[in-house]
Structure 1
Amino acid sequence: MTSSVPTSNRIRVGSAPDSWGVWFPDDPQQVPWQRFLDEVAEAGYEWIELGPYGYLPSDPVRLGEETARRGLKVSAGTVFTGLHHGPAVWEKTWAHVADIAALTRAMGADHLVVIPSFWRDDKTGEVLEDRTLTAEQWGDLTTQTERLGREVRDRYGLRIVVHPHADTHIDSEENVSRFLDATDPDLVSLCLDTGHYAYCGGDSVKLIETYGERIGYLHLKQVDPEILAEVVADEVPFGPAVGRGVMCEPPGGVPALEPVLAAARRLDVDLFAIVEQDMYPCPPDKPFPIAARTRRFLRSCGA
Protein backbone atom coordinates (compact mmCIF):
# COMPACT_ATOMS: atom_id res chain seq x y z
CA MET A 1 0.00 0.00 0.00
CA THR A 2 1.39 3.40 -0.96
CA SER A 3 1.53 6.33 1.42
CA SER A 4 -0.81 8.31 -0.82
CA VAL A 5 -3.81 6.08 -0.15
CA PRO A 6 -4.78 7.39 3.31
CA THR A 7 -4.39 10.96 2.06
CA SER A 8 -6.58 10.44 -1.01
CA ASN A 9 -9.24 8.88 1.18
CA ARG A 10 -9.68 12.27 2.84
CA ILE A 11 -11.55 13.35 -0.29
CA ARG A 12 -14.96 11.71 -0.43
CA VAL A 13 -16.38 11.69 -3.94
CA GLY A 14 -20.07 11.92 -4.71
CA SER A 15 -22.53 13.19 -7.28
CA ALA A 16 -25.73 15.20 -7.28
CA PRO A 17 -29.12 15.38 -9.04
CA ASP A 18 -27.63 18.22 -11.09
CA SER A 19 -25.51 15.66 -12.94
CA TRP A 20 -28.75 13.97 -14.02
CA GLY A 21 -30.22 17.17 -15.42
CA VAL A 22 -32.25 17.96 -12.30
CA TRP A 23 -32.70 21.66 -11.51
CA PHE A 24 -36.23 21.76 -10.13
CA PRO A 25 -38.32 19.87 -7.54
CA ASP A 26 -40.72 18.71 -10.25
CA ASP A 27 -40.22 19.01 -13.99
CA PRO A 28 -41.39 16.74 -16.83
CA GLN A 29 -37.96 17.00 -18.50
CA GLN A 30 -36.22 15.43 -15.50
CA VAL A 31 -35.68 11.77 -14.63
CA PRO A 32 -37.73 10.37 -11.71
CA TRP A 33 -35.90 10.45 -8.39
CA GLN A 34 -35.92 6.65 -8.15
CA ARG A 35 -33.96 6.43 -11.40
CA PHE A 36 -31.46 9.02 -10.19
CA LEU A 37 -30.80 7.06 -6.99
CA ASP A 38 -30.50 3.76 -8.87
CA GLU A 39 -28.10 5.15 -11.43
CA VAL A 40 -25.92 7.24 -9.13
CA ALA A 41 -25.29 4.12 -7.03
CA GLU A 42 -24.68 1.97 -10.09
CA ALA A 43 -22.21 4.55 -11.43
CA GLY A 44 -20.06 3.99 -8.35
CA TYR A 45 -20.85 6.92 -6.08
CA GLU A 46 -21.44 6.60 -2.35
CA TRP A 47 -22.39 10.19 -1.54
CA ILE A 48 -25.16 12.42 -2.92
CA GLU A 49 -26.61 15.85 -2.31
CA LEU A 50 -30.33 16.44 -1.82
CA GLY A 51 -30.66 18.65 -4.90
CA PRO A 52 -33.68 20.94 -5.22
CA TYR A 53 -35.84 20.48 -2.13
CA GLY A 54 -38.81 18.29 -2.96
CA TYR A 55 -37.15 16.31 -5.76
CA LEU A 56 -36.07 13.52 -3.42
CA PRO A 57 -38.54 12.43 -0.72
CA SER A 58 -38.64 15.07 2.03
CA ASP A 59 -39.67 12.53 4.68
CA PRO A 60 -36.34 11.59 6.32
CA VAL A 61 -37.51 8.10 7.20
CA ARG A 62 -38.44 7.26 3.63
CA LEU A 63 -35.39 8.97 2.18
CA GLY A 64 -33.19 7.17 4.67
CA GLU A 65 -34.63 3.82 3.60
CA GLU A 66 -34.28 4.62 -0.11
CA THR A 67 -30.66 5.74 0.20
CA ALA A 68 -29.57 3.02 2.60
CA ARG A 69 -30.77 0.16 0.43
CA ARG A 70 -28.69 1.57 -2.43
CA GLY A 71 -25.61 2.12 -0.27
CA LEU A 72 -25.89 5.91 -0.51
CA LYS A 73 -25.33 8.66 2.07
CA VAL A 74 -26.15 12.38 1.95
CA SER A 75 -23.32 14.92 2.09
CA ALA A 76 -25.28 18.20 1.96
CA GLY A 77 -28.48 20.09 1.25
CA THR A 78 -28.73 23.24 -0.88
CA VAL A 79 -30.45 26.57 -0.27
CA PHE A 80 -30.86 29.70 -2.38
CA THR A 81 -30.53 33.12 -0.76
CA GLY A 82 -30.68 36.82 -1.57
CA LEU A 83 -28.98 38.05 1.58
CA HIS A 84 -27.58 41.22 -0.02
CA HIS A 85 -31.14 42.55 0.30
CA GLY A 86 -30.53 42.81 4.04
CA PRO A 87 -32.58 42.05 7.18
CA ALA A 88 -35.86 42.62 5.31
CA VAL A 89 -35.52 39.22 3.58
CA TRP A 90 -34.41 37.29 6.66
CA GLU A 91 -37.77 35.75 7.58
CA LYS A 92 -38.43 34.66 4.00
CA THR A 93 -34.91 33.26 3.77
CA TRP A 94 -35.21 31.34 7.02
CA ALA A 95 -38.55 29.85 5.99
CA HIS A 96 -36.77 28.44 2.91
CA VAL A 97 -33.73 27.29 4.86
CA ALA A 98 -35.35 25.65 7.88
CA ASP A 99 -37.04 22.66 6.23
CA ILE A 100 -34.00 21.93 4.10
CA ALA A 101 -31.63 22.21 7.04
CA ALA A 102 -33.83 19.89 9.11
CA LEU A 103 -33.84 17.22 6.38
CA THR A 104 -30.10 17.64 5.82
CA ARG A 105 -29.43 17.12 9.53
CA ALA A 106 -31.83 14.18 9.73
CA MET A 107 -29.91 12.49 6.91
CA GLY A 108 -26.69 12.76 8.90
CA ALA A 109 -25.05 15.39 6.70
CA ASP A 110 -22.94 18.24 8.07
CA HIS A 111 -23.05 20.82 5.26
CA LEU A 112 -25.53 23.24 3.77
CA VAL A 113 -24.56 24.65 0.37
CA VAL A 114 -25.66 28.29 0.06
CA ILE A 115 -26.15 29.69 -3.45
CA PRO A 116 -26.58 33.46 -3.87
CA SER A 117 -29.51 34.78 -5.90
CA PHE A 118 -29.05 35.50 -9.61
CA TRP A 119 -28.83 39.07 -10.91
CA ARG A 120 -30.38 37.89 -14.19
CA ASP A 121 -32.91 35.16 -14.80
CA ASP A 122 -31.18 31.93 -15.77
CA LYS A 123 -33.93 30.99 -18.21
CA THR A 124 -35.13 34.22 -19.81
CA GLY A 125 -31.99 36.32 -19.40
CA GLU A 126 -34.06 39.14 -17.92
CA VAL A 127 -31.86 41.45 -15.87
CA LEU A 128 -33.34 41.42 -12.37
CA GLU A 129 -30.97 43.86 -10.68
CA ASP A 130 -27.57 45.50 -11.09
CA ARG A 131 -24.79 42.96 -11.45
CA THR A 132 -22.58 45.08 -9.15
CA LEU A 133 -23.39 45.46 -5.47
CA THR A 134 -23.17 48.75 -3.62
CA ALA A 135 -21.01 49.02 -0.51
CA GLU A 136 -24.17 48.86 1.59
CA GLN A 137 -25.32 45.70 -0.19
CA TRP A 138 -21.91 44.10 0.35
CA GLY A 139 -22.27 44.88 4.03
CA ASP A 140 -25.70 43.27 4.13
CA LEU A 141 -24.47 40.25 2.20
CA THR A 142 -21.61 39.55 4.57
CA THR A 143 -23.40 40.26 7.85
CA GLN A 144 -26.53 38.33 6.88
CA THR A 145 -24.45 35.39 5.65
CA GLU A 146 -22.67 35.30 8.99
CA ARG A 147 -26.07 35.38 10.68
CA LEU A 148 -27.19 32.45 8.54
CA GLY A 149 -24.03 30.54 9.40
CA ARG A 150 -24.57 31.13 13.11
CA GLU A 151 -28.26 30.19 13.08
CA VAL A 152 -27.77 27.07 10.97
CA ARG A 153 -24.92 25.95 13.22
CA ASP A 154 -26.74 26.65 16.48
CA ARG A 155 -30.13 25.24 15.47
CA TYR A 156 -29.15 22.33 13.21
CA GLY A 157 -25.46 21.64 13.80
CA LEU A 158 -24.64 22.30 10.14
CA ARG A 159 -21.87 24.33 8.54
CA ILE A 160 -22.72 26.60 5.64
CA VAL A 161 -20.51 26.54 2.54
CA VAL A 162 -21.18 29.45 0.19
CA HIS A 163 -21.11 28.57 -3.51
CA PRO A 164 -19.71 31.17 -5.94
CA HIS A 165 -21.93 30.91 -8.99
CA ALA A 166 -22.17 32.37 -12.48
CA ASP A 167 -24.67 35.25 -12.81
CA THR A 168 -24.58 35.97 -9.07
CA HIS A 169 -22.71 38.61 -7.11
CA ILE A 170 -20.21 36.09 -5.71
CA ASP A 171 -18.58 34.95 -8.92
CA SER A 172 -15.14 36.27 -9.95
CA GLU A 173 -11.81 36.05 -8.12
CA GLU A 174 -12.23 39.68 -7.04
CA ASN A 175 -15.72 39.18 -5.60
CA VAL A 176 -14.93 35.83 -3.97
CA SER A 177 -11.87 37.35 -2.28
CA ARG A 178 -13.87 40.36 -1.15
CA PHE A 179 -16.55 38.10 0.31
CA LEU A 180 -14.09 35.85 2.14
CA ASP A 181 -12.08 38.77 3.51
CA ALA A 182 -15.25 40.31 4.96
CA THR A 183 -16.72 37.20 6.65
CA ASP A 184 -15.87 35.30 9.80
CA PRO A 185 -14.03 32.03 9.05
CA ASP A 186 -15.70 30.40 12.04
CA LEU A 187 -19.14 30.99 10.50
CA VAL A 188 -18.64 31.02 6.73
CA SER A 189 -16.76 28.55 4.55
CA LEU A 190 -16.66 28.19 0.77
CA CYS A 191 -18.03 25.57 -1.59
CA LEU A 192 -15.54 25.86 -4.43
CA ASP A 193 -17.23 24.86 -7.66
CA THR A 194 -14.37 24.43 -10.10
CA GLY A 195 -16.60 24.87 -13.15
CA HIS A 196 -18.38 28.01 -12.00
CA TYR A 197 -15.11 29.56 -10.84
CA ALA A 198 -13.48 28.87 -14.23
CA TYR A 199 -16.63 30.16 -15.96
CA CYS A 200 -16.09 33.45 -14.11
CA GLY A 201 -12.35 33.60 -14.85
CA GLY A 202 -10.99 32.23 -11.58
CA ASP A 203 -8.13 29.80 -10.89
CA SER A 204 -9.25 27.05 -8.50
CA VAL A 205 -5.74 25.92 -7.54
CA LYS A 206 -4.76 29.50 -6.71
CA LEU A 207 -7.91 29.92 -4.61
CA ILE A 208 -7.22 26.73 -2.66
CA GLU A 209 -3.61 27.78 -2.08
CA THR A 210 -4.59 31.33 -1.04
CA TYR A 211 -7.68 30.64 1.05
CA GLY A 212 -7.12 27.03 2.02
CA GLU A 213 -8.57 27.38 5.51
CA ARG A 214 -11.84 28.66 4.00
CA ILE A 215 -12.36 25.76 1.59
CA GLY A 216 -15.03 23.63 3.22
CA TYR A 217 -16.43 21.68 0.27
CA LEU A 218 -15.80 21.05 -3.43
CA HIS A 219 -17.99 20.75 -6.50
CA LEU A 220 -16.09 19.14 -9.37
CA LYS A 221 -17.03 20.48 -12.76
CA GLN A 222 -15.39 21.56 -16.00
CA VAL A 223 -16.21 24.12 -18.69
CA ASP A 224 -15.65 23.84 -22.42
CA PRO A 225 -13.29 26.78 -23.12
CA GLU A 226 -14.50 27.31 -26.69
CA ILE A 227 -18.18 27.43 -25.73
CA LEU A 228 -17.30 29.58 -22.71
CA ALA A 229 -15.60 32.13 -24.95
CA GLU A 230 -18.73 32.28 -27.10
CA VAL A 231 -21.18 32.72 -24.23
CA VAL A 232 -19.02 35.39 -22.58
CA ALA A 233 -18.67 37.29 -25.87
CA ASP A 234 -22.42 37.04 -26.53
CA GLU A 235 -23.35 37.78 -22.88
CA VAL A 236 -25.44 34.60 -22.76
CA PRO A 237 -27.20 33.94 -19.40
CA PHE A 238 -26.14 30.89 -17.45
CA GLY A 239 -29.18 28.70 -18.22
CA PRO A 240 -28.92 29.00 -22.02
CA ALA A 241 -25.13 28.61 -21.73
CA VAL A 242 -25.69 25.24 -20.06
CA GLY A 243 -28.04 24.39 -22.92
CA ARG A 244 -25.16 25.07 -25.30
CA GLY A 245 -23.01 22.56 -23.40
CA VAL A 246 -20.71 24.99 -21.59
CA MET A 247 -20.34 22.50 -18.74
CA CYS A 248 -18.65 19.44 -20.19
CA GLU A 249 -17.61 15.94 -19.23
CA PRO A 250 -14.19 15.58 -17.58
CA PRO A 251 -11.43 15.49 -18.61
CA GLY A 252 -12.44 17.39 -21.75
CA GLY A 253 -12.53 20.90 -20.28
CA VAL A 254 -11.00 23.28 -17.76
CA PRO A 255 -9.78 23.42 -15.10
CA ALA A 256 -7.73 20.23 -15.07
CA LEU A 257 -9.03 18.34 -12.05
CA GLU A 258 -5.82 16.50 -11.11
CA PRO A 259 -4.06 19.69 -9.86
CA VAL A 260 -7.23 20.83 -8.08
CA LEU A 261 -7.51 17.53 -6.22
CA ALA A 262 -3.78 17.57 -5.45
CA ALA A 263 -4.07 21.08 -3.98
CA ALA A 264 -7.09 20.01 -1.96
CA ARG A 265 -5.24 16.99 -0.58
CA ARG A 266 -2.39 19.25 0.55
CA LEU A 267 -4.85 21.01 2.87
CA ASP A 268 -4.85 17.78 4.89
CA VAL A 269 -8.51 18.03 5.85
CA ASP A 270 -11.54 15.89 5.11
CA LEU A 271 -13.39 17.26 2.09
CA PHE A 272 -16.33 16.22 0.00
CA ALA A 273 -15.82 16.51 -3.75
CA ILE A 274 -19.22 16.28 -5.39
CA VAL A 275 -19.49 15.95 -9.17
CA GLU A 276 -21.95 18.44 -10.63
CA GLN A 277 -22.15 18.54 -14.39
CA ASP A 278 -24.94 20.97 -15.24
CA MET A 279 -27.08 19.39 -17.95
CA TYR A 280 -30.56 20.90 -17.91
CA PRO A 281 -32.43 19.79 -19.89
CA CYS A 282 -30.98 16.53 -21.16
CA PRO A 283 -32.21 13.21 -22.60
CA PRO A 284 -32.91 10.71 -19.79
CA ASP A 285 -30.35 8.19 -21.04
CA LYS A 286 -27.49 10.70 -21.28
CA PRO A 287 -26.39 11.16 -17.62
CA PHE A 288 -25.58 7.63 -16.50
CA PRO A 289 -22.75 6.80 -18.95
CA ILE A 290 -21.17 10.20 -18.29
CA ALA A 291 -21.43 9.71 -14.52
CA ALA A 292 -19.82 6.27 -14.72
CA ARG A 293 -16.98 7.51 -16.92
CA THR A 294 -16.43 10.49 -14.64
CA ARG A 295 -16.20 8.24 -11.58
CA ARG A 296 -13.58 6.11 -13.31
CA PHE A 297 -11.67 9.22 -14.34
CA LEU A 298 -11.66 10.56 -10.77
CA ARG A 299 -10.36 7.23 -9.52
CA SER A 300 -7.47 7.61 -11.97
CA CYS A 301 -6.79 10.97 -10.26
CA GLY A 302 -6.61 9.23 -6.87
CA ALA A 303 -10.08 10.32 -5.70
Structure 2
Amino acid sequence: MIGINPLPWLLGPSGFMLDVPTLRTAFAEIAEAGFTAVQADVPEGTSAAAYLALLGEYGLAPAPGYFQGTYENPEAMPGLLEHARRHAGTQAALGMTEVFIASALTPERLAAPATGAAYDPGRLATVIENLARTCEIITGEGLRPCLHPHVGTWIETEEETRAVLDAIAPELLSFGPDTGHLHWAGADPAELITRYRDRVGAVHLKDVHTAVARQAREAGADYREATVARHLWTEPGQGDVDLEGALAALPAGFGGWLVVEVDVPDHGTPKDSALLSRQWVTEHLTTAEERR
Protein backbone atom coordinates (compact mmCIF):
# COMPACT_ATOMS: atom_id res chain seq x y z
CA MET A 1 0.00 0.00 0.00
CA ILE A 2 1.56 3.25 -1.19
CA GLY A 3 0.54 6.81 -0.40
CA ILE A 4 1.93 10.33 -0.39
CA ASN A 5 1.88 13.12 2.18
CA PRO A 6 0.38 16.35 0.74
CA LEU A 7 2.73 18.55 2.82
CA PRO A 8 4.18 20.42 -0.20
CA TRP A 9 0.73 21.94 -0.77
CA LEU A 10 -0.01 22.49 2.93
CA LEU A 11 3.25 24.13 4.02
CA GLY A 12 3.32 27.72 2.78
CA PRO A 13 4.93 31.05 3.65
CA SER A 14 2.15 31.74 6.15
CA GLY A 15 2.49 28.34 7.84
CA PHE A 16 0.54 25.09 7.77
CA MET A 17 -2.74 25.38 5.85
CA LEU A 18 -4.95 22.35 6.42
CA ASP A 19 -8.23 23.42 4.86
CA VAL A 20 -10.58 22.01 2.24
CA PRO A 21 -9.70 24.44 -0.61
CA THR A 22 -5.99 23.69 -0.20
CA LEU A 23 -6.69 19.96 -0.04
CA ARG A 24 -8.74 20.13 -3.24
CA THR A 25 -5.76 21.54 -5.11
CA ALA A 26 -3.46 18.97 -3.54
CA PHE A 27 -5.75 16.03 -4.21
CA ALA A 28 -6.30 16.98 -7.85
CA GLU A 29 -2.57 17.24 -8.57
CA ILE A 30 -1.72 14.14 -6.52
CA ALA A 31 -4.25 12.12 -8.53
CA GLU A 32 -2.89 13.55 -11.79
CA ALA A 33 0.60 12.46 -10.69
CA GLY A 34 -0.63 8.89 -10.39
CA PHE A 35 -0.89 8.37 -6.63
CA THR A 36 -4.01 6.69 -5.31
CA ALA A 37 -3.73 7.33 -1.55
CA VAL A 38 -2.99 10.34 0.66
CA GLN A 39 -1.86 10.65 4.26
CA ALA A 40 -5.13 11.35 6.04
CA ASP A 41 -4.88 14.49 8.16
CA VAL A 42 -8.43 15.78 8.51
CA PRO A 43 -9.14 19.52 8.82
CA GLU A 44 -10.71 20.73 12.05
CA GLY A 45 -14.48 20.72 11.73
CA THR A 46 -14.49 18.17 8.89
CA SER A 47 -16.06 14.78 9.64
CA ALA A 48 -14.51 11.49 8.61
CA ALA A 49 -17.41 10.92 6.22
CA ALA A 50 -16.93 14.33 4.57
CA TYR A 51 -13.19 13.74 4.26
CA LEU A 52 -13.73 10.35 2.65
CA ALA A 53 -16.19 11.91 0.24
CA LEU A 54 -13.64 14.59 -0.66
CA LEU A 55 -10.97 11.96 -1.32
CA GLY A 56 -13.47 10.00 -3.40
CA GLU A 57 -14.04 12.95 -5.73
CA TYR A 58 -10.43 12.52 -6.86
CA GLY A 59 -10.31 8.72 -6.80
CA LEU A 60 -8.09 8.70 -3.70
CA ALA A 61 -8.03 6.59 -0.55
CA PRO A 62 -6.77 7.51 2.93
CA ALA A 63 -3.36 6.46 4.26
CA PRO A 64 -2.39 6.62 7.97
CA GLY A 65 -2.47 10.07 9.54
CA TYR A 66 -0.13 11.70 12.05
CA PHE A 67 -0.54 12.57 15.73
CA GLN A 68 1.90 14.60 17.82
CA GLY A 69 1.94 15.71 21.44
CA THR A 70 3.85 17.62 24.12
CA TYR A 71 4.41 14.55 26.27
CA GLU A 72 7.02 16.40 28.33
CA ASN A 73 4.31 18.60 29.85
CA PRO A 74 2.29 16.68 32.51
CA GLU A 75 -0.14 19.60 32.90
CA ALA A 76 -1.15 19.31 29.26
CA MET A 77 -1.88 15.59 29.40
CA PRO A 78 -5.64 15.63 30.18
CA GLY A 79 -6.33 17.73 27.09
CA LEU A 80 -3.79 15.81 25.03
CA LEU A 81 -5.33 12.45 25.90
CA GLU A 82 -8.77 13.68 24.89
CA HIS A 83 -7.33 15.02 21.63
CA ALA A 84 -5.66 11.65 21.02
CA ARG A 85 -8.96 9.86 21.60
CA ARG A 86 -10.81 12.07 19.12
CA HIS A 87 -8.02 11.87 16.54
CA ALA A 88 -7.87 8.09 16.82
CA GLY A 89 -11.64 7.85 16.51
CA THR A 90 -11.53 9.85 13.29
CA GLN A 91 -8.71 7.72 11.88
CA ALA A 92 -10.60 4.55 12.75
CA ALA A 93 -13.70 5.94 11.04
CA LEU A 94 -11.57 6.44 7.92
CA GLY A 95 -10.74 2.73 7.99
CA MET A 96 -7.19 3.15 9.23
CA THR A 97 -5.56 0.53 11.43
CA GLU A 98 -2.26 2.39 11.99
CA VAL A 99 -1.37 5.97 12.83
CA PHE A 100 2.00 7.70 13.01
CA ILE A 101 2.73 9.15 16.45
CA ALA A 102 5.47 11.65 17.29
CA SER A 103 6.62 14.15 19.84
CA ALA A 104 5.78 17.78 19.04
CA LEU A 105 8.34 20.19 17.64
CA THR A 106 10.19 22.12 20.34
CA PRO A 107 12.17 25.40 20.12
CA GLU A 108 15.38 24.04 21.61
CA ARG A 109 15.73 21.39 18.95
CA LEU A 110 14.39 23.45 16.07
CA ALA A 111 17.25 25.87 16.78
CA ALA A 112 19.88 23.12 16.54
CA PRO A 113 18.28 20.29 14.55
CA ALA A 114 19.55 16.71 14.40
CA THR A 115 22.08 17.23 17.20
CA GLY A 116 20.20 15.91 20.23
CA ALA A 117 20.29 19.42 21.72
CA ALA A 118 19.36 19.97 25.39
CA TYR A 119 19.20 16.26 26.11
CA ASP A 120 17.73 15.52 29.53
CA PRO A 121 17.21 11.90 30.69
CA GLY A 122 14.57 13.02 33.19
CA ARG A 123 12.58 14.75 30.47
CA LEU A 124 12.89 11.70 28.21
CA ALA A 125 11.54 9.50 31.01
CA THR A 126 8.52 11.83 31.30
CA VAL A 127 8.02 11.75 27.53
CA ILE A 128 8.09 7.95 27.56
CA GLU A 129 5.62 7.72 30.44
CA ASN A 130 3.12 10.10 28.86
CA LEU A 131 3.57 8.70 25.37
CA ALA A 132 2.67 5.28 26.77
CA ARG A 133 -0.49 6.76 28.31
CA THR A 134 -1.37 8.27 24.94
CA CYS A 135 -0.79 4.94 23.19
CA GLU A 136 -3.21 3.28 25.61
CA ILE A 137 -5.91 5.71 24.52
CA ILE A 138 -5.16 5.20 20.82
CA THR A 139 -5.04 1.41 20.98
CA GLY A 140 -8.33 1.56 22.87
CA GLU A 141 -9.84 3.06 19.71
CA GLY A 142 -8.62 0.09 17.66
CA LEU A 143 -5.54 1.72 16.14
CA ARG A 144 -1.88 0.75 16.17
CA PRO A 145 0.27 3.81 17.03
CA CYS A 146 3.62 3.73 15.19
CA LEU A 147 6.51 5.75 16.63
CA HIS A 148 7.76 8.37 14.15
CA PRO A 149 11.14 9.81 15.26
CA HIS A 150 11.28 13.41 14.04
CA VAL A 151 14.12 15.93 13.94
CA GLY A 152 13.26 18.95 16.06
CA THR A 153 11.47 16.95 18.76
CA TRP A 154 12.41 15.21 22.01
CA ILE A 155 12.41 11.87 20.14
CA GLU A 156 15.01 12.76 17.54
CA THR A 157 18.16 10.65 17.85
CA GLU A 158 18.71 6.91 17.44
CA GLU A 159 19.40 6.62 21.17
CA GLU A 160 16.09 8.30 22.01
CA THR A 161 14.22 6.19 19.48
CA ARG A 162 15.65 2.99 20.94
CA ALA A 163 14.93 4.14 24.49
CA VAL A 164 11.27 4.78 23.67
CA LEU A 165 10.74 1.52 21.77
CA ASP A 166 12.55 -0.52 24.41
CA ALA A 167 10.58 1.06 27.27
CA ILE A 168 7.06 0.79 25.84
CA ALA A 169 5.51 -2.61 25.21
CA PRO A 170 5.14 -3.65 21.55
CA GLU A 171 1.42 -4.19 22.01
CA LEU A 172 1.12 -0.48 22.87
CA LEU A 173 3.65 1.05 20.48
CA SER A 174 4.74 -0.08 17.03
CA PHE A 175 7.45 1.51 14.87
CA GLY A 176 6.76 3.99 12.07
CA PRO A 177 10.28 4.85 10.84
CA ASP A 178 10.89 7.94 8.72
CA THR A 179 13.97 7.24 6.62
CA GLY A 180 14.77 10.93 6.14
CA HIS A 181 14.49 12.06 9.75
CA LEU A 182 16.51 9.06 10.96
CA HIS A 183 19.23 9.67 8.38
CA TRP A 184 19.45 13.39 9.16
CA ALA A 185 19.79 12.62 12.86
CA GLY A 186 22.72 10.30 12.16
CA ALA A 187 21.00 6.91 12.32
CA ASP A 188 21.13 4.13 9.75
CA PRO A 189 17.46 3.61 8.82
CA ALA A 190 18.04 0.09 7.50
CA GLU A 191 19.86 -0.98 10.66
CA LEU A 192 17.19 0.45 12.95
CA ILE A 193 14.38 -1.08 10.90
CA THR A 194 16.17 -4.44 11.05
CA ARG A 195 16.41 -4.22 14.84
CA TYR A 196 12.68 -3.48 15.22
CA ARG A 197 11.34 -5.09 12.04
CA ASP A 198 8.70 -7.10 13.87
CA ARG A 199 7.22 -3.83 15.19
CA VAL A 200 7.10 -1.84 11.94
CA GLY A 201 3.53 -0.87 11.15
CA ALA A 202 4.00 1.87 8.53
CA VAL A 203 6.90 3.77 6.95
CA HIS A 204 7.58 7.31 5.76
CA LEU A 205 9.87 7.15 2.71
CA LYS A 206 11.92 10.34 2.70
CA ASP A 207 15.23 11.32 1.12
CA VAL A 208 17.95 13.74 2.23
CA HIS A 209 20.91 15.57 0.71
CA THR A 210 23.62 14.53 3.18
CA ALA A 211 25.97 17.32 2.10
CA VAL A 212 23.27 19.91 2.75
CA ALA A 213 22.62 18.42 6.19
CA ARG A 214 26.32 18.62 7.01
CA GLN A 215 26.67 22.17 5.72
CA ALA A 216 23.57 23.27 7.62
CA ARG A 217 24.93 21.81 10.85
CA GLU A 218 28.34 23.44 10.33
CA ALA A 219 26.65 26.79 9.68
CA GLY A 220 24.43 26.50 12.77
CA ALA A 221 21.29 26.63 10.60
CA ASP A 222 17.96 26.12 12.32
CA TYR A 223 15.32 23.66 11.12
CA ARG A 224 13.57 26.07 8.76
CA GLU A 225 16.78 27.30 7.15
CA ALA A 226 18.04 23.76 6.67
CA THR A 227 14.83 22.44 5.15
CA VAL A 228 13.32 25.43 3.34
CA ALA A 229 16.20 27.72 2.40
CA ARG A 230 18.87 25.06 1.88
CA HIS A 231 16.60 22.27 0.54
CA LEU A 232 17.83 19.45 2.74
CA TRP A 233 14.84 17.29 1.76
CA THR A 234 14.53 15.89 -1.75
CA GLU A 235 12.39 13.49 -3.74
CA PRO A 236 13.03 9.73 -3.28
CA GLY A 237 16.07 8.57 -5.19
CA GLN A 238 17.43 12.09 -5.59
CA GLY A 239 19.34 12.11 -2.30
CA ASP A 240 21.63 9.93 -0.23
CA VAL A 241 19.34 7.81 1.94
CA ASP A 242 19.62 4.10 1.25
CA LEU A 243 15.92 3.67 0.55
CA GLU A 244 16.36 0.27 -1.05
CA GLY A 245 18.27 -0.92 2.01
CA ALA A 246 15.50 0.35 4.27
CA LEU A 247 12.87 -1.46 2.21
CA ALA A 248 14.93 -4.65 2.21
CA ALA A 249 15.10 -4.49 6.02
CA LEU A 250 11.32 -4.75 6.31
CA PRO A 251 9.82 -8.16 7.14
CA ALA A 252 9.32 -10.47 4.19
CA GLY A 253 5.93 -9.83 2.66
CA PHE A 254 5.46 -6.54 4.53
CA GLY A 255 1.97 -5.33 3.69
CA GLY A 256 1.84 -2.08 5.65
CA TRP A 257 1.68 1.46 4.35
CA LEU A 258 4.65 3.11 2.61
CA VAL A 259 4.03 6.86 2.53
CA VAL A 260 6.25 9.05 0.33
CA GLU A 261 7.02 12.37 1.98
CA VAL A 262 8.74 15.47 0.61
CA ASP A 263 8.01 18.40 2.93
CA VAL A 264 9.50 21.01 0.58
CA PRO A 265 9.79 20.19 -3.14
CA ASP A 266 13.38 20.06 -4.31
CA HIS A 267 12.45 19.90 -7.99
CA GLY A 268 9.86 22.36 -9.24
CA THR A 269 6.29 22.72 -8.03
CA PRO A 270 4.47 20.37 -5.64
CA LYS A 271 3.02 18.59 -8.68
CA ASP A 272 6.46 18.31 -10.32
CA SER A 273 7.74 16.84 -7.07
CA ALA A 274 4.87 14.35 -6.91
CA LEU A 275 5.48 13.28 -10.50
CA LEU A 276 9.15 12.65 -9.76
CA SER A 277 8.22 10.75 -6.60
CA ARG A 278 5.70 8.68 -8.54
CA GLN A 279 8.37 7.80 -11.10
CA TRP A 280 10.56 6.41 -8.30
CA VAL A 281 7.60 4.51 -6.84
CA THR A 282 6.83 3.00 -10.25
CA GLU A 283 10.43 1.89 -10.71
CA HIS A 284 10.98 0.53 -7.18
CA LEU A 285 7.69 -0.36 -5.51
CA THR A 286 5.28 -1.60 -8.14
CA THR A 287 5.27 -4.89 -10.02
CA ALA A 288 5.40 -5.14 -13.80
CA GLU A 289 1.74 -6.18 -13.79
CA GLU A 290 0.73 -3.07 -11.80
CA ARG A 291 2.63 -0.83 -14.22
CA ARG A 292 0.57 -1.98 -17.22
TM range (shorter): 0.7 to 0.9
Structure 1 residues 253, 21: closer, same or farther in 2, change over 3 A? farther
Residues 1:289 and 2:272 are matched in the alignment: yes
Aligned to 2:222: 237
Q: CA deviation at 1:177?
A: 1.2
Residue 79 of structure 2, aligned match among 92, 99, 120: 92
Aligned to 1:67: 55
> Which SS does the other structure have where 1:168 is aligned?
coil
Aligned to 1:198: 183
Q: CA deviation at 1:37?
A: 0.9
Residue 106 of structure 2, aligned match among 104, 119, 132: 119
Equivalent runs, 1:162-201 vs 2, <5 Å: 162-201=147-186
- Aligned residues with identical type, % of pairs: 22
Aligned to 1:13: 2
Unaligned runs of 5+ in 1: 1-11
CA distance in 2, matches of 1:43, 1:135: 45
Residue 253 of structure 1, aligned match among 219, 236, 239: 239
Aligned-residue CA RMSD in angstroms?
Answer: 2.7
- Tell me the TM-score normalised to structure 1 length: 0.83
- Tell me the TM-score normalised to structure 2 length: 0.86
| 8 A Cα contact 1:149 1:188, kept in partner | yes
CA distance in 2, matches of 1:190, 1:246: 24
Q: CA deviation at 1:94?
A: 2.1
What letter corresponds to residue 170 of structure 2 in structure 1?
P
What letter corresponds to residue 300 of structure 1 in structure 2?
E
CA distance in 1, matches of 2:221, 2:10: 20
What letter corresponds to residue 301 of structure 1 in structure 2?
H
Aligned to 1:26: 17
Structure 1 residues 292, 188: closer, same or farther in 2, change over 3 A? same
| 8 A Cα contact 1:79 1:96, kept in partner | no
Q: CA deviation at 1:19?
A: 3.8
CA distance in 2, matches of 1:85, 1:267: 39
How many correspondences in the alignment? Answer: 281
What letter corresponds to residue 219 of structure 1 in structure 2?
H
Aligned to 1:220: 205
Q: CA deviation at 1:145?
A: 1.5
Unaligned runs of 5+ in 2: 287-292
